[in-house]
Every structure is written in structure tokens, then in C-alpha cells.
A and B are shown apart, each in its own frame.
Chain A
């Protein structure tokens, strides 16, 4: 786990404050029937700022895969390659276009375009860099959304109200990290085992990583962090003694496309 006991208790306490009512509201949604909605929208706290550190020194192919599976399982992210029913099999040429991903891997030169060079450490060039929404401090996706369906919470999480989203995809053009996915068709026939703790989606809305807001509200760490065996560190950037802050102090980290000024809050130890 990427968090020590003390911090976990701290998060637990805070999340209870933040998430009161969140769980209750969540249970009202019939899992698997309604689209995803972020029930917990806590009021201004101002003290917490969630952030993540991805430690590539500890992350291998297998761990990365475990993280992705954990995330996609608890968020009912469809896998269009695997229909539940053979009649829903899709032609191969649409798989890439339809793909929904909250967490995925890319090579260094794709994750950090322009930062690579021909003589770089070969090992790093082939590492599976885990990519997700950066929960930017200055998020263009929020700036462009015409309905506030994408919004930034006080704790830094950039979240979505999938009941409000009109599917205009302006946010997808706005996000410089490719972190957003659109439901080009009904995803439900491609969710192998519907996870009851999170709603499935309808066609025509955008979705992305939520930093596991729904789990934080229930005093749990993000699913990917839990599955990462310590390769992912999550916590409160505003707490000097938190694990993320400590990690950022001890290691040199990089972030994706900082020159664009979105101020990403996912950090990478290479």
C-alpha cells in the first residue's frame, strides 16, 4: 500500500467529513441500471489536495496490468474485445476507436512526447508508463465544458456528472493527455461482471478516471493504488507529512506536458 497507517487514518477521518451522504446517495442509484453519477460532491474543504506518484522503478508489466484490471473492474469499464454474448462481437477496426480506458500504459516517448532521445536508457524507453487523468490544477476540460458536467472539486479531483453531460466532446478536444473516453455505443454488453459498487454508463457520455472519489468517500484508497504493491503512492499534497509529499521530497519526479500549464497532479519517478 502506498500510504502509511497514520495517513490512512487521517484520510479516513477526512473522507468521512467529505463523503457524508455520499454513500447513501450512491446506494439510491440502481447499480448497473443508471449511468454513473458522482454522488459525493463535498463542500469546500480547502485542506486536502489529492495527488498520485507513479514509481516506475517499482512498476513492471504485470503490476501495471493488475492496476488496470483493478480499476476497470470496480468502475465497470467495458472491454470491447470481450463481449458477454458472441452476438455482440465487434469488427476489429472499431475496437481502437471505441476503446474506453481510465488507466492504461504507454511507452516513454508516447507518454512524454518530445522528451525522448535515441540514446536514452533503454530500460526506461520500454517501461510501461501508467497513464490516467492528471486531475490538473488548471484543467482545460473544465474550462471548456458548456454544462459544468466536468468540474473541479475543492480537493483537486476533476470529476464528472454523467447525468448532465450532453456528449459534445469539447472536453476531449481540450484535454491534452488523451485521458477522456466517450461511449460511442452501449458499453453494458462488454462489462464482463458488473461491479455493484459503481454505476454502468449509457451511450453518448464522456467518462474518465475519478481518482476513485467514490472509494475515498468510503475511506478506501484508489483501486489501482491498492493493487500496485507500492508502485503507486496516493495522498494529500497539502499535508507535509503525507506519503506523497515525502516521496516527492526524496525522489526527482517528472510530469506530463508541464509546458501547457495545466499543472498535472500525477507525478512520475523514472
Chain B
């Protein structure tokens, strides 16, 4: 089937070339980072994780959200999603690819990455995260590829593939739960030390991931002969609606506990993010935009008319993607590290090389996504004709 990725229209090649170009540019900056050190980024001793780990966290969510098309299809026999499961699975593959790359890019000593396997350490959450992420990547490649192959030859997928699909459902939940546990178990980081971290991660993932999928479905319909289907898109829109509402609810649960208890270790981080601390307030406008925007979007999404109009739906999905990205990417990382353990404020902003490396990894992910979607869509077109 791979040959399908090799032949395409001019526009397809152009897209590949552009993505490849951005990736190459990011790679050049990465070479500089390898030579000079992570000091070329905006991170430092106080904010010791930044943009890279933020993208990683966000994208684990996108990857996990594939479960939102897989689950209804396999567990509730919701046939309509049969057309889009492959899009969800391949989106997961691309997202996990980016996750793994971001972790690698963030490492001080990528040359020693295999130490994680050489000296397995089950008491470290990172150990488990690496296992579940790689497992999930493998699962989605296996399932996606095989189901597509079977579809092409119009045979039913083998039993073991069905079994793996069932396995992939709790597995998807696990990747984002374990990722939340990276943060939620650290003493002395009040912003992260909350039992609702994993639920919040999941709700924002199930809001952002399906939003992205809606946009991708609309694009696929516009630029190819394969139509993922109006009903499918509308069902996804409902998932987005509920997940966004729950995500906003969880946020306010957090705010209540933090501010009603009045425990400074927990309040200071929120104060930094939403009001500024010790005269430093770089993230304040972003955070307000994120939470106000997310709340309004959630309310608007409950209106069926706005959801049914695909233009407004696309705009709302875009808002969900942006606002959850600010909340979970920018806010989560910086908010956790500011103020530092001595209650001092050091602000963080990514540098130009850091931004280009980040873009490069995203380009790599979209390159993988484009190739995989090209294969999937070509097969679907072939079946139809």
C-alpha cells in the first residue's frame, strides 16, 4: 500500500516539500542545540522544562483521543465511525511520533537515551510513559495498517486485529494518565499536585483531539474524493462539545479547591498565571484568553445550529485547539515552575532556535500524517470507484 504515498498530485508534492523544508530547517537548529547545549533555548534552572515538553504533553492528548472514534465503533458498534477510525488511528501515529521526537529533542544527552532500557527503573513514571507511548504507537500502526489492507481486499479483519483494537481503548486512556502522573506526583510543585490532573488531561485531550480530527475531515473532504461523512463529523462535534464542557468544569473545580483552601503553595502558581506575581505577568493575557475563550466556545458548541453549520463548527474547533494548547502547553509547564521552590519568579519564553526546532518536529509529524492520510484516502477512493 505504501506505493500510494508516492504518487499524487502536484499539490500533494508541494505540501510534502514544504513540510520537508520546515523539518530540515528545524533540524539545522537542532544540530546547533546538540553542539551548544540546551542553553540555546529559553529554559533555565528555574523553568527547566519548556516548549518541548509542553508540546509533548499536548500531543499525547491528541494521540489518546483516537479512542473517541475507536470506542464507539468497536464497543457500541457505531458503524458510521468505521469510515473515520483509520483517520483517528493515523492521527495517533503521527501524534505519538511527535511526542517521542519532542522527548528526544528535550534530552540533554540524547546519545544516552538507551540508558532508560539498560537500567530499567519501574519507580520512575518516565519509564512507564516510554513503555505505554511506544506500545500505543505500535498498536495504532498495526491496527490501522491491517484494517486498511483488509478493507482494500474487502475481507473482514482477522480476529487478532479486533482483539488489539479492544486493547487499544484502555491503552489510549493509559498514555494520558501516565503522562499526567509525570507531574501529579511531585511534592513541592503545587500547580501539578492535584488528583484531578489526569482527568483534566483526558478531558482536554478529548476536546482537542476530535477538534483536530473534525478539521482534518473537512480538509480531506475538500481536497480529495473521499468524504468522511457529515454524520461522522457531527458525531465528533458532539464529543468535542461534551469534552470541552467537562474540561471547563474541571478547571473550575481546581480553582475552587485552590482558592477556597487558600494554601499559598497552590495559589501562587494560579496568581502568577492569571494576575502576575512579583511584578511579572508575561502569561496573563494568554491565560485569560485561554480560559475565557474555552468557556465561551464550550457554551457556543452546545447550540446545535452553530455545530451543524460546518463553517462555525470549524471555527469553534479551531478555538478549542488553541485554547487547550495554551492551557496545557504554555500554562501547565510554566505555571508549574513559577514561582520556583524559593518562591522567586523567573519567567520563561521560548527562543527563536527553540521555536524553529518545535516547528520542525510539528512538520515531521504532519509529514507522517500527510503520507499516512494519503495512503488511507487513496485506498478509500479506490474502494469507492
Closest to A140 in B: B187
With a cutoff of 8 Å between Cβ atoms, the chain A residues found around residue B116 in the complex are: 146-147, 166
In the complex, which residues 98-117 of chain A have their Cβ closer than 8 Å to any Cβ of chain B? 98-100, 106, 109-111, 113-114
How many residues in B have their beta carbons less than 8 Å from beta carbons of A?
Answer: 46
In the complex, which residues 220-269 of chain B have their Cβ closer than 8 Å to any Cβ of chain A? 264-265
B344 adjacent to chain A (CB < 8 Å): yes
A167 and B33 CA atoms in complex are apart in Å by 14
Contact A173/B39 with A164-B119, A168-B107, A178-B341 known, Cβ cut-off 8 Å:
no
With a cutoff of 8 Å between Cβ atoms, the chain A residues found around residue B46 in the complex are: 96-97, 178
A113 and B269 CA atoms in complex are apart in Å by 14
A82 adjacent to chain B (CB < 8 Å): no
Give, as a whole number of angstroms, the nearest-CB distance from B85 to chain A: 33
Question: In the complex the two chains form, is A173's CB within 8 Å of B44's CB?
Answer: no
In the complex, which residues 65-121 of chain A have their Cβ closer than 8 Å to any Cβ of chain B? 94, 96-100, 106, 109-111, 113-114
Give, as a whole number of angstroms, the nearest-CB distance from B98 to chain A: 17
Contact A99/B45 with A144-B125, A176-B187, A204-B38 known, Cβ cut-off 8 Å:
yes
Contact A166/B108 with A98-B45, A178-B342 known, Cβ cut-off 8 Å:
yes
| Cross-interface CB contact of A167 among B45, B109, B125, cutoff 8 Å | B109
The A interface, classified by DSSP as helix, strand, loop or mixed, is loop
B303 adjacent to chain A (CB < 8 Å): no
A262 adjacent to chain B (CB < 8 Å): yes
A182 and B48 CA atoms in complex are apart in Å by 8
B161 adjacent to chain A (CB < 8 Å): no
Question: In the complex the two chains form, is B124's CB within 8 Å of A144's CB?
Answer: yes
How many residues in A have their beta carbons less than 8 Å from beta carbons of B?
Answer: 48
With a cutoff of 8 Å between Cβ atoms, the chain B residues found around residue A175 in the complex are: 188, 341
Best-buried of B39, B127, B189, B340 by chain A (most CB within 10 Å) = B39
Give, as a whole number of angstroms, the nearest-CB distance from A52 to chain B: 19
In the complex, which residues 141-192 of chain A have their Cβ closer than 8 Å to any Cβ of chain B? 143-149, 164-170, 172-178, 181-186
Question: In the complex the two chains form, is B126's CB within 8 Å of A203's CB?
Answer: no
| Cross-interface CB contact of B121 among A98, A147, A182, A257, cutoff 8 Å | A147
Chain A contacts to B: CB under 8 angstroms: 94, 96-100, 106, 109-111, 113-114, 140, 143-149, 164-170, 172-178, 181-186, 203-206, 257, 260-262
Task: Given A178-B340, A203-B37, output 10 extra A-B contacts at Cβ < 8 Å.
Answer: A110-B343, A113-B343, A140-B188, A145-B121, A146-B124, A166-B112, A169-B108, A178-B342, A203-B36, A204-B37
Return 21 A-B CB contacts under 8 Å, by A number.
A97-B44, A113-B264, A113-B343, A114-B264, A143-B124, A144-B124, A144-B186, A146-B116, A146-B121, A147-B121, A165-B108, A170-B182, A175-B341, A182-B38, A184-B38, A185-B36, A185-B39, A186-B36, A206-B108, A257-B188, A261-B187
Q: List 8 A-B pairs, minimum CB-CB distance, nearest first.
A: A167-B108, A176-B188, A97-B44, A204-B108, A184-B39, A185-B39, A203-B37, A146-B126
